[in-house]
Chain A
C-alpha cells in the first residue's frame, strides 16, 4: 500500500468539496436502493459526517493504533443504524467508484488496488468490532417513555425505561431517535445515577427549529418507544481524586452533573460539592426544587442558582461571572456542562485563574458528536 499516493489522491478528491459525498451517496442509492432507508431525508449533516470520518482515517493512516480504535468505535456505533456486514461491500464499491470519478485521469489500477486494500482493512476492523459487540449488547435499546413532565416553557423531563437494562456511568450520554423523526439521532445525557428499576431521565430543551427536541417534547406520548444507542461520552467523576468539587451547569447541561451528584450520594464520605445552576430567566431553573431537596438531605452539597436576566431570587449576572467571583477554585475538580460557549468560557477562565487543565472536566463526545 503506497501511503503517500493514497494521501495525495485523497487531497485531489477532497478539492471537490461537498460534490464528493453527494456523488458517493447517489451512487450507493442507485446501486442499492434498499440502503436509502437507513438515512434521514436531508443528507446534509450525513455528508459532513462521512467527510469527517474519511479525513480522520486518511490523516491517521500511519498511526495504526489510532486508526484501529477509530474504526472499532465506528463499527460499534453503526450497529444502531442497522448496518450489516453485507452493506460494507456496497459502501466500498461506491466509495471506489466515487474516488475513480473525481480522480479522473490519475485513477489507475494501482491506485484502485491501494484504496481497495485500505477500505477492506477499515471495514474488516469495523465488522469485527460490531460482531464482538453483538455478544454483549443489543444493536439498540428500546426506551419506553413512562413519564413526561413539562418543567419550563422550553424544558421537559422524560422518564424512559430502556429494554434491556442500560448500564452506564453517570455523566455519559446516549443517542436517541424518536419514532416521530426516524433516522435523526441526537445525544442526551442520562440525568440520574443507575436505578433499581432501570429507568433513566432525560432533560430535553426545545431548540428553535430543532427537529428531534420538538419531537421529544411535543410528539412523544407516554408509551412511545424511542431507540437508544449505547452509552458514550468521557465525562465522569474522578473517584480517585480527593479534591472538593465545583460543578457548573448551564440549562439542561445539568443532566450529566445531577447524575454525578446522585452517584456521590452513595459514597461513604462524599467531597464537598458546590453546584452552580444557571439559566437565562428564573423559570429556566427547571430542576431547582429537586436540587434543593438533595442539598437539604446532603450537607456536603451546596446549590447556587444563577439567573442572567430578569428578576429572581438567585445570583444575577452570567453563570461564568458568578462562578469566578465566588472563590478561587484552583484546588477543586471542576465539572462543566451546558451551552458550548459557556463551557469553553468557564474552562478558559478557570484555567487562567490557576486551575490545572487535568482538573477541568467537560462533556466530550469525541468523534461521535452529532
Chain B
C-alpha cells in the first residue's frame, strides 16, 4: 500500500472527535456557531473522506491483484507479484509522489520569496517614514531659528545700534546666524543624500539578491530529453 505515504497521520480525524467536537458560539447572536471553525472542521471532514475513499479504492485494487494472483496460481499459470498493469500503477504512484514533492518545493520557495519582498516593502516604508519625520523636524527647527532671528533683527531695528561695540555685536550675531543656517543646510543635504544612498544600496542589493537566487533545479520528474529550466 503506497497511497497513504504522503498523508500526515497525526492529523487524522477520529470518531471520538466527531463525538466531542464543539464550536464557539457566535458573538453577534444568541443562536448559531462562529462560521470559520465550522468551515475549518468541514474541510477536515472532507479531507478525511477523500482519504478514506482513496484508501478504499487502493485496497480494492490490492484485493483485485491478489485475487488475480490466486486465480493465476489455481489455473496453474506462473503467479507474478506485479503484473504489467500493477507495475505501471506503481510507477504512476511513485511519479505522483515525486510531483507532489516538487509542488511543495515550488510552493515553499514562492512563500519564502513572498515573505522576503513583503519584509523589504515594510522596511522600505519604515525608512521613508523615518526620513520624512527627520526632515520635518529639521525644517521646523530651522524655521523656528529663522523666526527668532527675524524677531531679534526687528527688535534691533527699532533701536538701532548706537556704539561701535553694539554694531560689532550685531555683525557678529548676523555672521553667526549665516553660518548656522549654512551648517543646517549642509546637514540637511548630507542627511538627504545619505537616505538616498541607503535606498540605492538597498535596491542594488535587492537586485543582486534577486539575481543570485538560483532557479528551481530540475526535479527529476521531467522527461529524459528535457533541457531543464532555462
Residue numbers of A with Cβ under 8 A of B are 15-17, 19, 22-23, 25-27, 29-30, 33-37, 41-44, 101-102, 104-105, 153-154, 179-180, 182, 206, 208-211, 214, 218-219, 281
Per the bound structure, the CA–CA distance linking A182 and B114 in Å amounts to: 20
Per the bound structure, the CA–CA distance linking A42 and B227 in Å amounts to: 16
Contact partner, B226, options A25, A37, A214, A218, Cβ 8 Å? A37
Per the bound structure, the CA–CA distance linking A146 and B93 in Å amounts to: 46
What residues on B are CB-neighbors of A105 within 8 Å? 60
Per the bound structure, the CA–CA distance linking A38 and B100 in Å amounts to: 18
What residues on B are CB-neighbors of A34 within 8 Å? 223, 225
- Asked if residues B57 and A209 are in contact (CB atoms below 8 Å), the reply is no
Per the bound structure, the CA–CA distance linking A191 and B224 in Å amounts to: 41
17 new A-B contacts, CB < 8 A, other than A29-B223, A33-B224, A104-B61, are A15-B50, A16-B53, A16-B54, A22-B100, A25-B99, A26-B96, A29-B95, A30-B92, A35-B223, A36-B226, A37-B227, A42-B103, A104-B60, A153-B121, A208-B113, A208-B117, A214-B117
B151 in contact (CB, < 8 A): no
Residue among B92, B113, B227 with most chain A CB within 10 A: B92
Per the bound structure, the CA–CA distance linking A307 and B230 in Å amounts to: 40
- Asked if residues A209 and B223 are in contact (CB atoms below 8 Å), the reply is no
Chain B 127-150 against A: per-residue CB contact (8 Å), 1 yes, 0 no? 000000000000000000000000
What residues on B are CB-neighbors of A17 within 8 Å? 50, 54
Per the bound structure, the CA–CA distance linking A34 and B107 in Å amounts to: 25
24 residue pairs of the A-B complex, CB under 8 angstroms, read A19-B54, A22-B100, A23-B96, A25-B99, A26-B95, A30-B92, A33-B222, A34-B225, A35-B223, A41-B102, A42-B102, A42-B107, A43-B99, A44-B107, A101-B89, A104-B61, A179-B230, A182-B230, A208-B117, A209-B111, A209-B117, A210-B114, A214-B210, A219-B211
- Asked if residues A22 and B96 are in contact (CB atoms below 8 Å), the reply is yes
Looking at chain B's contact residues, is the secondary structure mostly helix, strand, loop, or mixed? helix
Given A29-B95, A209-B110, A219-B210, check contact A43 B117 (CB 8 Å).
no
B219 in contact (CB, < 8 A): yes
- Asked if residues B92 and A23 are in contact (CB atoms below 8 Å), the reply is yes
Least Cβ distance of A206 to chain B in Å?
7
Per the bound structure, the CA–CA distance linking A33 and B222 in Å amounts to: 7
Looking at chain A's contact residues, is the secondary structure mostly helix, strand, loop, or mixed? helix
Per the bound structure, the CA–CA distance linking A209 and B112 in Å amounts to: 7
Q: Which 3 A-B pairs have the closest CB atoms?
A: A209-B114, A33-B223, A42-B106
Residue among A29, A37, A102, A208 with most chain B CB within 10 A: A208
What residues on B are CB-neighbors of A182 within 8 Å? 229-230
Contact partner, A41, options B111, B113, B229, Cβ 8 Å? B229
- Asked if residues B222 and A36 are in contact (CB atoms below 8 Å), the reply is yes
Least Cβ distance of A308 to chain B in Å?
14
- Asked if residues B121 and A41 are in contact (CB atoms below 8 Å), the reply is no
Given A23-B96, A36-B226, A41-B216, check contact A30 B88 (CB 8 Å).
yes
Least Cβ distance of B89 to chain A in Å?
7
Per the bound structure, the CA–CA distance linking A135 and B225 in Å amounts to: 31
B71 in contact (CB, < 8 A): no
B118 in contact (CB, < 8 A): yes
Least Cβ distance of A214 to chain B in Å?
7
- Count residues of B near A (Cβ-Cβ below 8 Å): 46
B221 in contact (CB, < 8 A): yes
Residue numbers of B with Cβ under 8 A of A are 3, 50, 53-54, 57, 60-61, 88-89, 91-93, 95-96, 99-100, 102-103, 106-107, 110-115, 117-118, 121, 124-125, 207, 210-211, 215-216, 219, 221-227, 229-230
- Asked if residues A30 and B222 are in contact (CB atoms below 8 Å), the reply is no
Contact partner, A218, options B106, B124, B207, Cβ 8 Å? B207
Contact partner, B113, options A43, A44, A153, A209, Cβ 8 Å? A209
Given A34-B225, A36-B226, check contact A208 B99 (CB 8 Å).
no
Least Cβ distance of B64 to chain A in Å?
8
> Closest A-chain residue to B112, C-beta based?
A209
What residues on A are CB-neighbors of B226 within 8 Å? 36-37
Per the bound structure, the CA–CA distance linking A35 and B223 in Å amounts to: 8
Residue among A23, A36, A41, A209 with most chain B CB within 10 A: A41
Per the bound structure, the CA–CA distance linking A169 and B62 in Å amounts to: 57
What residues on A are CB-neighbors of B53 within 8 Å? 15-16
What residues on A are CB-neighbors of B211 within 8 Å? 218-219
Per the bound structure, the CA–CA distance linking A124 and B131 in Å amounts to: 64
> Closest B-chain residue to A12, C-beta based?
B53
Per the bound structure, the CA–CA distance linking A105 and B60 in Å amounts to: 9
Per the bound structure, the CA–CA distance linking A219 and B229 in Å amounts to: 14
Per the bound structure, the CA–CA distance linking A211 and B105 in Å amounts to: 14
What residues on A are CB-neighbors of B96 within 8 Å? 19, 22-23, 26
What residues on B are CB-neighbors of A26 within 8 Å? 91-93, 95-96, 99
> Closest B-chain residue to A34, C-beta based?
B223
> Closest B-chain residue to A102, C-beta based?
B57
> Closest A-chain residue to B111, C-beta based?
A209
Per the bound structure, the CA–CA distance linking A17 and B60 in Å amounts to: 18
Per the bound structure, the CA–CA distance linking A54 and B230 in Å amounts to: 31
What residues on B are CB-neighbors of A25 within 8 Å? 99
Least Cβ distance of A31 to chain B in Å?
9
Least Cβ distance of B63 to chain A in Å?
10
What residues on A are CB-neighbors of B61 within 8 Å? 104
Least Cβ distance of B88 to chain A in Å?
7
> Closest B-chain residue to A35, C-beta based?
B223
What residues on A are CB-neighbors of B92 within 8 Å? 23, 26-27, 30
